[in-house]
Each structure stands twice: as structure tokens, then as C-alpha cells.
Structure 1
């Protein structure tokens, strides 16, 4: 029997000396990205609201020989994010990698007028992403202009460009992330800051457990039964590759799809 290689193979420690910030680090893509970057040698700051999960993840990373700092914070709270930055700089140093991963997916027919869910997606997927950029932008520019690699990685979605029933608001927020990333690359590239948008297809994460719309639930359950979904570590491995490239190489946009997903 042929053994397939996995995305979790131990990477080279090619991020030694760099400090990374990962939002939404308490589960899913964020948690696996933190582990991946730490395994590559980065000192990783873990940002999310669930302190207990962050502490468990930090302990796991430390046990595996990495360095991690749990920084409980609500990414939608600008003051909390500024305070988190001060803690990170004091404990680990100025960040040179920022992974904007925190997000929520709440699909529903637009005619249901679920304005609270619309706003929650806008607050987390757009406003909090912008707050994170605002808080850490000067650190990234400083890293880039000082001669080292600097990376802003924004997690978008294939939904930002493809059409999925009942996903209009979520898809709109992810289209914003993708387009924003292209513009920021134009602005920050000359300052040697790389900007990348990562757009996964269907990933098996707890994000799907937040979905309450029956139609969207049925579609997601059908996808899980009909194909092998992406795993968080698949996306994490891709992010690790993107930020470990030579500093003159910028993968502007990476689409990661399950092999069997066609839309």
C-alpha cells in the first residue's frame, strides 16, 4: 500500500527569529497555523477570546519545542487589541507575521432579515480584520524596511468569488478581504511587506457548527459525505509555506480546494 504524504510533516525551522500573531487561534485553522509557525521556529502570539483553549494550545506548542504566548482578547475590541499588542511586544518582540484568521460564517436567506447575524459577520470578518491590521501595521512595515521578511496573511474564502445559495453576506465579507488584500499589496509591497489572501474551499472546522440555516446545513453535510474535505492543517501548511518563502517572493492569492470540490 502506498502511503500518502501529509501536510503535517515536520517542517524545517525556517522562521527562527520571527514573531507571529495569529487571530482566531483557539481552534481550527488558527490553532493549526499557530502550531505550524511555531514548528517552523517562530515565536507565536495566540489571540482569541477563549483563554482556556489558548493556554492549552500554548502548552502543547511549548511541549513540542516551540514558543507560544496566549493573549486572550476580543478582536472586535480595538482597545483590547492595542493592549494585546503591548503584551506581545513586551514578551516576544515586534511581530513580523500577522495571520488575520478570526471569522464567522452564518449563512441564511437574505429574506429572513437576520440583521444581527449580518452585523456579526461584518464586525468579525471585516471590522476586526481592519482593527488587527491597524494595530500591527507599523510593526510589519518596520520589519520589512529593516531588511527582514514581513507578512500580512488574510484568510478569505472561495465564497468571496463563487456563488453559494444563502451565503450572500458571508461571501460579501470575504470578497472584501480578497479585494482589500490586493490593494494593500499595492500599497505595502514597496515597503517590503508581503500581503497574501488565502482562499480555502470547504474546510472541516467548528465554523460549520455555528450554521443554523437548514439549507446551508444540508449543503455542508452533503459536501462532507460526498468528498474528502480540507483539514485545518492543510491550510496551515500552506500558510507556513507562504511566509517562509524568500522575501522577494509574494504569493498574492492562494486558492486551496478539496480535490473533489468543483464549485
Structure 2
């Protein structure tokens, strides 16, 4: 397989479901060695076994992206097993939708910890290894809510995704040359993201909104497109939505 994906070592956070799981399957089927990171050990193990049964290579590593030592341990385990890390996909995310007036500061903290700090910890852990091997690709999953503010209700979530967009663009400018940086901004995609809201009215609205969702593999294909380009081509940003999505 000369698809520029085959044999690449790809680390994926949030790999136990949704976009992460779908991307892991999709890339493994194209010859990538996938490292699966998430908190749910059983789900990771099951996915790894399924990928191996299909002839792929998969390493499950239980990881909480809000704990930087665990993210570093994830990269250390990857290098210990495969000798390198070619692609880091920072995909873990939380979408807790509620009006700001409700003051759900615990949810705001959690979104900042997962959506922003989790991405930063992923970059901090993977970048030194990539600089040492003189190649690499960091892919951050944001949202259309990082292109347009999703309000009322998604204001803080949008804030975290705007941050990811700024971080990815700054990273591109700082490490360009041999290391690529890509931002993937999906609209409504079928995943567990829609279950992140504890405010009942907001939760109902989100579930209604997600009835138009496209399959998670839609995002996997966009990620694969970015990875498979020749080394000197950097796909910086991909925004994808269901054709019927207005926002």
C-alpha cells in the first residue's frame, strides 16, 4: 500500500467511540499502526482486538487527556513499541451545552481541561519526538463551533474550539517545514458528543439538532486525506458538515 498512510504510527485520543474509533478503524485498514487512547479500558481493548483480527496493528493505552503525565506516558508507550510517532490526533472532546446564565462553571472547567489543555498536552508530548525524528503531523479536531459561535448555549464550547483553531494555526507557523499541522472542524457528526449536556432543555435541542448528523467515517476520510498528502503538502484546515446543516 503506497498510500502514505501505510506503516505510519498514528496516536488517536478519544479512540473508544465516535470519531476516534471510526478513524482508528479507517486508518488501520489502510495499513497504519494505531495507538488507541481513551479512559475506557474495555472499549479500547475490544477495538484493538477487532483491528488485529482484521490484520491491523493496534496498541491500546488507557489515557485521561486532562492528566499531562498520562499523555506523556501515552507517547512514551508509543515510541517504546513502534520507535516513533508519525501522527498525533488530538480528538478527545466534551460538548456541554447550557446558557451562560446558569453559571455551570464545573462544566466550563471540564471543557477547558479536555478541549484545550488536552490538546496542548498532546502537542507537548508528541512534538519533541517529532522534532527529533524530523517529521510528524499533529491533527487537532475542533468544530464548526470554532468557525461560528454556537449560541445560545454553546458559547463556552465555542470558546474552547476557537482556542484549538488558534493553537493549531500558531503551531503551524512555529513548527512548519518538516512537521505538519491540520485542523479538522466537523459539523453534526454521529458520536457521543451529543450526550455531553446536563441541562435538559439544551440536551433536547442538541439531540434534535443531531438528527441531521453524518456518519463518523466522514471525518475519518477527511483525516486520512490530510495524512496521505506528500510530506511537503500541509492540509491546514478542513471544515465539513452535513449538506442540510445551516449552522
Q: Settle same-fold status: TM greater than 0.5.
A: yes
Q: Say if 2:33 is the partner of 1:40.
A: no
Offset of residue 213 of structure 1:
2.2
Q: Say if 2:153 is the partner of 1:163.
A: no
Q: Which residue of 2 aligns with 1:140?
A: 130
Contact kept? 2:4, 2:229, Cα under 8 Å: no
Q: Which residue of 2 aligns with 1:205?
A: 191
- Give the distance between the partners of 1:161 and 1:106, measured in 2 at CA: 18
SS at match of 1:55: helix
- Give the distance between the partners of 1:153 and 1:256, measured in 2 at CA: 15
1:1-263 mapped onto 2 (5 Å cutoff): 14-143=4-133, 145=134, 150-164=136-150, 165-190=152-177, 192-225=178-211, 227=212, 229-263=213-247
Offset of residue 138 of structure 1:
1.3
Q: How many residues align?
A: 246
Encode CA deviations 1:185-229: one digit per residue, 9 max, x unaligned: 111113x1110000000111111112222333233233244x3x1
- Give the distance between the partners of 1:102 and 1:139, measured in 2 at CA: 21
Give the TM-score of the pair, scaled to structure 2. Answer: 0.95
Deviates most, 246-255 or 207-216 = 207-216
SS at match of 2:217: helix
Contact kept? 1:14, 1:40, Cα under 8 Å: no
Contact kept? 1:154, 1:181, Cα under 8 Å: yes
- Give the distance between the partners of 1:48 and 1:224, measured in 2 at CA: 23
Encode CA deviations 1:127-180: one digit per residue, 9 max, x unaligned: 11111110111122234x2xx5x2100000000121322101110000000111
Gaps of at least 5 residues in structure 1 are 1-10
Structure 1 residue runs of 4 or more that deviate by more than 4 Å after TM superposition: none
Q: Label 1:29 to 1:125 Cα distance change in 2 as closer, same or farther (>3 A).
A: same
Deviates most, 158-167 or 125-134 = 158-167
Give the TM-score of the pair, scaled to structure 1. Answer: 0.89
SS at match of 1:47: strand
- Give the distance between the partners of 1:142 and 1:114, measured in 2 at CA: 42
SS at match of 1:37: helix
